[in-house]
Amino acid sequence: MTRADRLPLAHIAVAVTAFGAAACMALMQALSRANLDLPFRSAQIYYLSVTAHGTLMALVFTTFFIMGLGYALVPRALGRPLLHEGLAWVSFWIALAGTLATLTAIFAGKATVLYTFYPPLKAHPAFYIGLTLLVVGSWGWGFAVLRTLRAWRREHAGVPIPLPVLGFATTIIVWYIATVGVACEMLFLLIPWSLGIEKTINPELARTLFWWFGHPLVYFWLLPAYVVWYTVLPRAAGGKLFSDNLARLVFVLFIVLSSPVGLHHQAMDPGIPAGWKLFHTFNTMWILFPSFVTAFTIIASLEVAGRARGATGLLNWIGKLPWSDPLVASVLLAMLLFAFGGFGGAINASYGMNAMVHNTAWVQGHFHLTVGSAVALTFMGTTYWLLPKLTGRDLELGLLAKVQPWLWFAGMMLFSFSNHVTGLMGMPRRVFDPSYGGDPTAARWKMLTGISAVGGILLFVSAAFFVMVVLGTWLAGRKSEQPAVEFAEPLEPAPKSLPIFDRLGLWAAVAVVLVLVAYAYPIWHLIRTPHFGSPGYSPF
Amino acid sequence: MNVDLYERIWMWAAVAIVVVFLTAIGISTFAYAVRPPSHMETIDPATVMQDPRFAEPGVVTLPDGSVHVTIVAMMFAYLPAEVHVPVGHPVTFRITSMDVTHGFEITGTNGNTMVVPGYVSQFTYTFDEPGEHLVVCNEFCGVGHHTMSGKVIVDPPGGPAAGAAAPDSAHPAADTGVRP
């Protein structure tokens, strides 16, 4: 372990700890939904656990892992050390302190408001202030990475940005634009209200600012996974990246399209004009395009790899891929699950069809395929590849690492598909006990919630394997010389001139204009409409 | 930009898929008037029960034959918890919350709306068949969230099935719901 690698390792340690804790809660929740009477089962604990699981997985695990991955990959891809390492460490401690404050509030039972924290359910101020500090820490991370990139560009005039770095720069731009929404919600609405400075709050305005943040948040999770798919996977599979140019196009499209879409989460909300919901729905559909392009480029890159490994037939290159490599297996299975998740997402966002699935179990089935598989499984596979390089130790418990992605895949198929179906049958999400006093409609969900619980058990075992491999490698792995990080080469020679996709400032400006177009009127309308505020309510 | 022929074909196909999706949404919106509930009406959540619009929640048949159902959502119940509506008539649901954000989802239908305090949610739905629908709150509202439910009973033509109290045709505006 070099001194510089302590920074990414510290972030990954926090991420894996959060992941392990959240996985334990998930097991309890899945069993509770199947109405298994466990000791200590209660509605209070269930909802507290849903809050902790969502916060730890969606906000803590992802953010810390992404920051750690950025610190590991960006300096390596640029071939220069990180600027502002001191600031990076300060940001780490700010984010960690914030996380601990939030978790303290949750586990003290003072913040059972779920990770979407919709007012007028009110949490302890420490919950909101802690999450704000987590975001502030991530801003410091973005600043250090972008400044390092800027220094590199001065030293390498006219050279295209290395693709992994372009991917992370995109992630940071998307994150900065997204977090403006949640920062406004926290600073102007939630924190003053939870401290008692403001007596009431406008819940619909808070929801709108939350979803300004909440949708691009999913691309903040997804883009680092795409960095791995584009720049790590093809090489690990023994091939080359099919098209460097299109990868750049994809990243840039995410900058532009990620944010002006949040109202599709509020299709069922009162107080927001239907025309603006339609506008956001139309914008959302175009985000399918870069993911379709990704599907082609990655699959073509994999075919190149399979053929390089001796495949000759139409499809036998699939079998020739190194499935026994835990990184390759994780990412391939993650992509397969994402294909289902993507189409489900198009249904969620479709204005009219949203009524069928809005806030039903379908939604949790959906995002466990996207963030819970495409992103989380990719990150687990990436850890198997990256951790030995950062710690200078061999991967331990390799057999568990090989089995783990398959268990995740099987568990997620059972969990996610049963939740999609119960959702279509009307079962709401986030309910402690879906029996509704023996109502005949609710009785029809029963077998599927059982299948979902079996999926939950498999997922828990898979998560436990992952944590064991990480602990084993870190604490007991044999010290040895590890191969350096190498990124996939493009199939075609690198472009000579600077691609237009590298003009990040330009694309960020386009994105800001689109966000203003998409949100200026709906937010102005919410503020201008005479409305009545809400005092806070305790969930218990 | 040099793009492989197959990939170029694929990209056009992807554009075509997106255009098909957008067209489907556009047709359902403009030709079939499928619109999500986006009602604009505010109300003071502190005085919902005194507000004339919600003081007497329940089912009302207006002189023009249309049916209005008014419901107040609260932690952790709907008032009234059970409503009878006629089959084959457009039924307009008007719902608001006294406290936190709730959901109102009529299972087995597309009737689904968020109920945000300070706002009146409104949507219209026509039930094609008689029967019972479980109504669930689908937004987390507190420790009793999973107990917050109601029932929409769709009566066959001519009134409720035998055994249930028949509404007095002279007073169709009466609340047929059970108050918790």
DSSP string, A270-281: TTS-HHHHHHHH
pLDDT at A36: 80
Q: Estimate to the nearest angstrom the gap between the alpha carbon of A95 and the chain centroid.
A: 17
First vs last Cα of chain B: how many Å apart?
A: 68
Give the pLDDT band (50/70/90) at residue A4.
confident
> What confidence tens digit (pLDDT) does each residue in A71-93 have?
999 999 999 999 999 999 999 99
Among A191-195, A252-256, B169-173, the range scoring the smallest mean pLDDT is B169-173
Helix axes A203-231, A326-349, angle to 10 degrees: 140
What is the average per-residue pLDDT within B20-46?
A: 89
- Tell whether the model's pLDDT for residue A537 goes beyond 90: yes
The whole-number average pLDDT for the span A184-194 is 97
Q: Residue B180: what pLDDT? A: 33
What's the pLDDT tens digit per position in A303-313? 999 999 998 98
The residues, ordered by sequence, that sit 6+ positions from A378 with a Cβ below 8 Å of its Cβ are A225, A228, A229, A330, A331, A334
Phi/psi of residue B138, nearest 5 degrees:
-115, 20
Q: Which residue reads 């596979």 in tokens? A: A381
- How high is the pLDDT of residue A35? 80
Q: How far apart are the first and last CA of chain A?
A: 48
**Closest residue to A268, CB basis, from B34, B37, B117:** B37
Kindly name the residue from A215, A248, A265, A393 that is annotated as catalytic: A215
Is there a catalytic annotation at residue A248? no
Burial of residue A295, with CB atoms counted within 10 A of its CB: 0-12 exposed, 13-18 middle, 19 or more buried: middle
The single residue listed with the structure tokens 């720049």 is A231
* A437/B41 CB distance under 8 A: no
The size of the A-B interface in CB pairs under 8 A is: 218
| pLDDT of A142 strictly over 90 | yes
Using 50, 70 and 90 to split pLDDT, how confident is the model at B163?
very low
Say if residue B52 is exposed, middle or buried (CB neighbours under 10 Å; 0-12, 13-18, 19+): exposed
% of chain A residues with pLDDT over 90: 88
| Residues A4, A393 contacting (CB under 8 angstroms) | no
A341-355 pLDDT per residue, tens: 998 999 999 888 888
C-alpha–C-alpha distance, residues A335 and A337, integer Å = 5
pLDDT in tens, B137-153: 999 999 999 999 999 99
Of A131, A137, A100, residue with least CA distance to A7: A137
Residues in B closer than 8 angstroms to A112, CB to CB, are 143
- Residue A530: pLDDT band with limits 50, 70, 90: confident
Question: Which residues on adjacent β-strands are paired with residue A12?
Answer: none
- Give burial (CB, 10 Å; 0-12/13-18/19+) of A410: middle
CB-nearest to A432 from B25, B117, B146 is: B146
Q: Looking at the partner chain, which of B115, B117, B137 has a beta carbon nearest the beta carbon of A534?
A: B117
| A509 close to A257: Cβ distance less than 8 angstroms | no
pLDDT band (50, 70, 90) for residue B166: very low
What pLDDT score does B174 carry? 37
Cβ–Cβ gap A289/B15 under 8 Å: yes
Question: Which residue in this structure is represented by tokens 């109290």?
Answer: B165
Cβ–Cβ < 8 Å for A119, A538: no
Q: Which residue of A has its CA nearest to B121?
A: A270
Distance CA A496, CA B28 (A): 48
| Alpha-carbon gap, residue A287 to B58, rounded angstroms | 43
Give the count of beta carbons closer than 10 Å to the beta carbon of residue B19: 11
Average pLDDT, chain B: 86
| Closest-approach residue (CA) in chain B for A531 | B42
The SS3 assignment for A201 reads strand
Instruction: Determine the pLDDT at residue A1.
Output: 67
How far apart are alpha carbons A82 and A67 in whole angstroms?
Answer: 13
CA distance A374 to A61: 14
Interchain contact, B42 vs A285, CB within 8 Å: no
R_g of chain B, CA atoms, integer Å: 21
Which residues in chain A are closer than 8 Å to B41, comparing Cβ atoms? Answer: 270
Spell out which residues of chain A touch residue B122, defining contact as CB-CB under 8 Å. 270
Chain A closest CA to B117's CA: distance in Å? 7
pLDDT attached to residue B164:
43
Whether B179 shows a pLDDT value over 50: the answer reads no
User: Which B residues in the span 32-91 are in contact with A, Cβ-Cβ below 8 Å?
Assistant: 34-46, 75
Q: Quickly tell me which residue has 């879409």 as its tokens.
A: A261
Minimal C-alpha gap between B155 and chain A (Å): 18
Using omega within 30 degrees of 0 as the cis cutoff, is the peptide bond preceding A8 cis? no
Does residue A264 carry a catalytic annotation? no
Collect all residues of chain B within an 8 Å Cβ-Cβ radius of residue A494.
none
CB contact under 8 A, B99 and A537: yes
Report field, pTM of the whole predicted structure over 0.90: yes
pLDDT in tens, A153-165: 999 988 999 999 9
Looking at the predicted structure, is the pLDDT value of residue A519 above 50?
A: yes
Token code pair at residue A138: 């991530």
> Residue A531: its pLDDT value, please?
86
Gyration radius from chain A CA atoms: 23
Chain B residue with CA closest to A443: the answer is B134
DSSP secondary structure string for all residues of A333-346: HHHHHHHHHHHHHH
Please name the member of B4, B114, B136 whose beta carbon is closest to the beta carbon of A270. Answer: B114
Q: Do B116 and A529 touch (CB under 8 A)?
A: no
A350: chain B residues, CB-CB within 8 Å? 21, 24-25
How far A483 CA lies from chain B's nearest CA (Å)?
33
Residue B136 pLDDT grade (very low, low, confident, very high; cuts 50, 70, 90) = very high
The confidence band for A110, taking pLDDT boundaries of 50, 70 and 90, is very high
Contacts of A441 in chain B (CB under 8 A): 107-108, 133-134
**pLDDT average, residue stretch A332-338:** 96
Instruction: Report chain B residues whose CB lies below 8 A from the CB of A445.
Output: none
Q: What is the model's pLDDT at position A392?
A: 94
Q: Which residues are CB-neighbours of A443 under 8 A, at least 6 positions away?
A: A435
B23 touches chain A (CB under 8 A): no
Q: Provide the percentage of residues in chain B whose pLDDT is more than 90.
A: 70
Q: What is chain A's mean pLDDT, rounded? A: 94
Type of residue numbered B55 = A
Tell me the per-residue pLDDT of A458-469, one tens digit each, with 9 for 90 and over. Answer: 999 999 999 999
Q: What pLDDT was estimated at residue B131?
A: 94
| 8-state DSSP, A259 | S
For residue A370, give both structure tokens: 């996207």
- List pLDDT tens digits, range B57-75: 999 998 887 899 999 999 9
Residues of chain B found within 8 Å of residue A532, distances taken between Cβ atoms: 42-46, 118
Between the alpha carbon of residue A472 and those of residues A51, A394, A496, the distances in Å are 29, 10, 45
* Interchain CB distance below 8 Å, A540 and B143: yes
Half-sphere exposure of B7 (CA within 13 A, CB side): 21
Tokens of A330: 């994780």
* In chain B, % of residues over pLDDT 70: 88
The per-residue pLDDT for B1 is 67
Between CA A243 and CA A224 the distance in angstroms is 18
CB contact under 8 Å between A441 and B133, yes or no, is yes
The residue of chain B nearest to residue A243, with distances taken between CA atoms, is B3
In chain A, residues with a C-beta closer than 8 Å to the C-beta of B48 are none
Distance (Å, rounded) from C-alpha B79 to C-alpha B98? 11
CB within 8 A of A83, min separation 6: which ones?
Answer: A144, A147, A148, A151
> Is the pLDDT score of A436 beyond 80?
yes
Q: Do A268 and B112 touch (CB under 8 A)?
A: yes
Residue carrying the six token digits 């995109």: A170
Q: Do A118 and B139 touch (CB under 8 A)?
A: yes
Ordered DSSP codes for A315-328:
STHHHHS-TTSHHH
Interchain contact, A121 vs B140, CB within 8 Å: yes
**Within an 8 Å CB–CB cutoff, is residue B146 touching chain A?**
yes
C-alpha A74/C-alpha B70 separation (Å) is 58
* Rounded-to-integer distance, Cα A370 and Cα A376, Å: 8
Contact indicator for A69, A15 with CB cutoff of 8 Å: no
Catalytic (active site) residue A215: yes
The pLDDT, as a whole number, for residue B172 is 37
- Separation between Cα atoms, residue A441 and residue A462, nearest integer Å: 33
What is the complex's ipTM, to 2 decimals?
0.91
φ and ψ at residue B176, rounded to 5 degrees: -95, 5
Split at pLDDT 50, 70, 90, the class of B161 is low
Give A167-176 pLDDT, tens digit per residue. 999 999 999 9
| Confidence class for position B171, pLDDT limits 50, 70, 90 | very low
A367 as an active site residue: the answer is yes
Best of A33, A269, A446 to disrupt the B interface (most B CBs within 10 Å) is A269
Whether A289 sits inside 8 A of B143 (CB atoms) is no
What is the rounded distance in angstroms from the CA atom of residue A124 to the CA atom of residue A114? 13
Angle CA(A365)–CA(A371)–CA(A372) in degrees, nearest 5? 60
Catalytic residue among A64, A65, A210, A219: A219
Q: Which helix (H) or strand (E) holds A214?
A: helix A203-231
Pairing status of strand B67-74 against strand B77-79? antiparallel
With CB atoms and an 8 Å threshold, state whether B138 touches A531: no
The full 3-state SS of chain B, as one line of letters, equals: CCCCHHHHHHHHHHHHHHHHHHHHHHHHHHCCCCCCCCCCCECCHHHHHHCCCCCCCEEEECCCCCEEEEEEEECCEEECCEEEEECCCEEEEEEEECCCCEEEEECCCCCEEEECCCECEEEEEECCCCEEEEEECCCCCCCCHHHCEEEEEEECCCCCCCCCCCCCCCCCCCCCCCCC
Catalytic residue among A248, A368, A393, A420: A368
Which residues in A lie closer than 8 A to residue B2 (C-beta atoms)?
A: 245, 492
Type and span of the H or E element at A136: helix A125-155
